Amino acid sequence: MSTAVAAGGPGAVLWMWLTGVFGIATKYAEAVLAVKYRIKTPSGDMGGGPMYVLERGLGMRWLGVVFAVLTAVAAFGIGCMVQANSISSLLHESYAVPTWVSGLVMTVLTAVVILGGIKSIATVCEKLVPFMAVFYVLGCLVLLVVHAERLPETLRLILASAFTGQAAMGGFLGAGVREAIRYGVARGLFSNESGLGSAPIVAAAAQTKNPVRQALVSSTGTFWDTVVVCALTGLVVVNSLRWTEGLKGAALTKAAFNDLGFVGPVILSIGLLTFVFSTILGWSYYGEKAAEYLIGERAVKPYRLLWVVAVMVGSVATMPAVWAFADIANGLMAVPNLVSLIALSGVAAAETRHYLWEGDIERSADAPAA
């Protein structure tokens, strides 16, 4: 959120939020198709995602291969190096911790968890996510209450600059409407992954009675992630007025949370650490399943080892290079997935009608219709 505001101005908050609102539908459709066309792998686990949807739903294995290649590569950007870079930069800004030190710690922790596979990843994430969400949201709400008198003007500024751009102000160099839309949408998709095709990979691995039931669960992720958490972050950043000082990334977020005194950086550091770590773990699964689709199960262990190395690389790399790689890779992997969503939109609608509007959401996919 801070990178979006720093580059696109306060108006980026609205575009990021709208990306989340519409992304709920995209995430839902992705999950419906992923569960419907999933398969049982030789190891006995469920495998699915856009690569299987493209192959089994559209008969376009070649495009499934393209998606899998792009996902296996893109995962190193959005799900690994950017995340590691964010926390190492923040710890360096807040506590002068060398980036290589925080990178080394994250590398070791990542290795311990992901080498244990999907069950190990799920066990850690289901403990981290509820804690991080409540802890971080409370911190944001306190900050908004502390500066409640600024909120009306902050909301007006976000709405106005979303459609008119933001003139130079203090250390902020200014941004037009194009930048507000570009960075708001890009960071929104980066945050909630709707349309990228990554989240359906793990949705397909879930134990669920039917595609629609799992899709409803999956779509709530976008709501909480972007419509709630990112909106709160955007309000905090803009409301702090620190964006006018020309700060970017971790420095801007830290400055906004400094208004809570010494407690602010602690809340931010713990919140970001849990966000980052759970994301690194989740995306390692996305990437390895894409690699498994391409090469087979023999690709999993080498991919995990490369992933561990990438955590360290991302921690010490420069931010512009890391973000540029992530944005390009994200855009490329979204294209094949969007092809499947458009071409099979009728299937998603039919499944919804069958299980939700005309049927029983608790009915198993292999049960006869009532």
Please calculate the CA angle 329-330-333 and round it to the nearest 5 degrees. 85
Tokens of 30: 């992705």
Q: What is the dihedral of CA 253, 226, 9, 146, to 10 degrees?
A: -50
* Sequence letter at residue 313: V
Tokens of 37: 């066309």
- pLDDT of amino acid 368: 42
**CATH code linked to domain 2-357:** 1.20.1740.10
- pLDDT mean by block of 10 residues, the chain; 370 residues: 89 94 94 94 85 96 94 87 85 85 91 80 79 85 92 94 88 88 86 88 88 92 89 93 85 85 82 84 91 92 93 83 74 89 95 86 58
- Inter-CA distances, 261 with 22, 248, 264, 268, 306, Å: 37, 20, 6, 12, 39
Both tokens of 308, joined, read 């561990």
157: nearest Cα among 175, 141, 183: 175
Burial 25-63 (b: 16+ CB within 10 A, else e): ebbbbbbbbbbbbbeebeeebbbbbbbbbbbbbeebeeb
Q: How far apart are CA 225 and CA 275, in angstroms?
A: 11
Residue ranges per structural domain of the chain = 2-357
- Rounded to 10 degrees, the C-alpha dihedral 107/113/114/119 comes to -160
Phi and psi at 238, nearest 5°, equal -70, -40
Q: Residue 82 has what pLDDT? A: 84
